[in-house]
Amino acid sequence: MSDPWHTASWFTSPWNHLPEVRSGYHFADQVRIHDITLRDGEQQTGVALSADEKVRIAEKLAEVGVHRIEAGMPIVSAADRQAIERIVAAGFPCEIFAFSRCMVADVERAAECGVHGIVVEIPSSEHIIEHAYGWPLQKAVDLSIAATARAKELGLYTVFFPIDASRADLGWFLDLISQVAAQGHMDALACVDTFGGVNPSAIGNLVATCKRHLGKPIETHFHDDFGCGTANTLLGLAAGAEVAHVTMCGVGERAGNAALEQVVLALKTQYGIDVGIDTTKLCELAALVQETFHHALPDNRSIVGKRLFQVESGIVASWLKRCGDEHLLELFPYRPELVGQEAPSVAMGKSSGADSVTAWLADLGLEPPTDDAEAMRILVAVKAASIEKHGTLTPDEFRRIVANERGA
């Protein structure tokens, strides 16, 4: 298997690689991952991380290979500043960034932490400046110029981060970023969809317009309010953006952000872009984030859900028996070990079939069915018990059913 859509580890669609599809891609020579779990992710309602917890997550992020970690906003509290300083001092093999408002004092505070770069925010839609901040429009421009110029003086790689850019008048927005680039400073521009309101069809034009207007690297920062965060990020990268802002498990304010695991695995298996992330540690990282954030994910969550490789459907259990490990990719789009999942298993429940019963009897060291009729009696009892329980059965529950049906 040498096709990019069908390797030893995944089997996706060959349609992704049709020449007429790939001719529309404009990926950067190097796509980089900028993780914002410790800043935007922590803004999820009810989450408050200690410095120790932030350092532990940063260590795991560095271990999986993220290129940049946005460690926090030092102006928020002494604890946040301490966490950033400790992450910087740890010497992880990735760049450490801080986040700040467009305030000179904020930028100076971030520089004191020893970070490599800074993400400098400003409200950028006319309506949010007027209604949420109560500022005249020129104040946003002046603050942006002063803060980014100071960041340059302090030697910080500066990403200009215009809040609510996606709902701004395009002419006003382009004028704002032009003034900041000319009179202040920016090494890169973040295309920010603060409220997730851009649809995927508009992303290519957004990125291309910004690149053409500024001639600077573009970074994507897309929220998931309409479920488009990951798709928008992928399309932004395909349009030429160099950096993707993501959070692990998609944590973040309101509906969260584009998910690191989804962006990275889709790039690798559907676009042929390996960004250097160790995908075999994604589930391990997801477990740490869920535990630390006290944030449980659905069992069927893509890539890191606990039950992704559990098979209940009788027909699929039969496929699993027939295909075995050799042809596992007939049942799943990627192998479990690619993302750190456990091997596939057969669950016992309402949707189970006769092959499921036979497999469980063998796995539990019980006698095989004496005939098809006995297997069917056990299966009928399993379905009834599953309906009553509203869930799948445990091995002990299955044993009791088998014993009852066999008259023990």
The answer to whether residue 1 is domain-embedded is no
Looking at the fold, whether 282 and 322 belong to one and the same domain comes out as no
Q: Examine residue 384 and state whether it is found in any structural domain, yes or no.
A: yes
Say what the pLDDT of residue 2 is: 72
CA atoms of 145 and 184, how far apart (whole Å): 4
Tell me the H-state helices in 95-136.
104-112, 126-128
Same domain, 139 and 274: yes
Which of 259, 293, 327 marks a domain boundary?
293
372 domain-assigned: yes
Residue 222 pLDDT: 97
Are residue 147 and residue 256 in the same domain, yes or no?
Answer: yes
Q: Containing domain of residue 355, as a range?
A: 310-405
C-alpha distances (whole Å) from 205 to each of 199, 213, 317 are 11, 12, 45
| 91 and 197 fall within a common domain | yes
Mean pLDDT in residue range 241-257? 97
Does 234 reside within a domain? yes
Q: Is 24 helix (H, G, I), strand (E, B) or coil?
A: coil
pTM over 0.75: yes
> How many other C-beta atoms are found inside a 10 Å radius of the C-beta of residue 260?
33
Does the pLDDT of residue 254 top 70, yes or no? yes
Give the chain's domain count: 2
Separation between Cα atoms, residue 303 and residue 283, nearest integer Å: 8
What integer is the mean pLDDT of 309-335? Answer: 94
Q: Of 260, 293, 326, which residue sits at a domain end?
A: 293
| Residue 121 backbone dihedrals phi, psi, to 5 degrees | -100, 150
Q: Which of 293, 326, 344 is the last residue of a domain?
A: 293
Taking Cα atoms as reference points, which of 208, 255, 207, 262 lies closest to residue 231?
Answer: 262
What residue type is 236 in one-letter code? G
Specify if 382 maps to a domain: yes
Give me the torsion for CA of 227, 231, 232, 233, rounded to 10°.
Answer: 120
Please report, rounded to a whole number, the percentage of residues in the chain having pLDDT higher than 90: 94
The predicted structure's pLDDT at residue 124: 86
269 and 314 share one domain: no
Q: Give dist(CA 337, CA 317) in Å, integer.
A: 19
* Residue 5 placed within a domain: no
In a domain, 4, yes or no: no
Phi, psi for residue 387 in degrees, rounded to 5: -65, -45
Taking phi first (over 0 means left), then psi (-120 to 50 degrees means alpha), and beta for anything else, what does residue 252 get? Answer: left
* Token pair for 123: 């409200």
385-398 confidence digits (pLDDT tens)? 999 999 999 999 99
On whether residue 350 sits in a domain, the answer given is yes
Give yes or no: residues 176 and 31 share one domain.
yes
**Are residues 321 and 385 located together in one domain of the fold?**
yes
* C-alpha dist (Å) from residue 400 to 352, 382, 394, 405: 17, 10, 10, 9
Same domain, 37 and 66: yes
Give yes or no: residues 317 and 284 share one domain: no
Answer for the pair 63, 57: CB distance below 8 angstroms, yes or no: no
- Tell whether 119 and 199 lie within a shared domain: yes
pLDDT digits (tens, 9 = 90+) for 179-234: 999 999 999 999 999 999 999 999 999 999 999 999 999 999 999 999 999 999 99
Same domain, 238 and 111: yes
Alpha-carbon span 53 to 73, nearest angstrom: 15
Q: Do both 330 and 257 map to the same domain?
A: no
Q: What is the pLDDT of residues 333-378, one digit of tens each?
A: 999 999 999 999 999 999 999 989 999 999 999 999 999 999 999 9
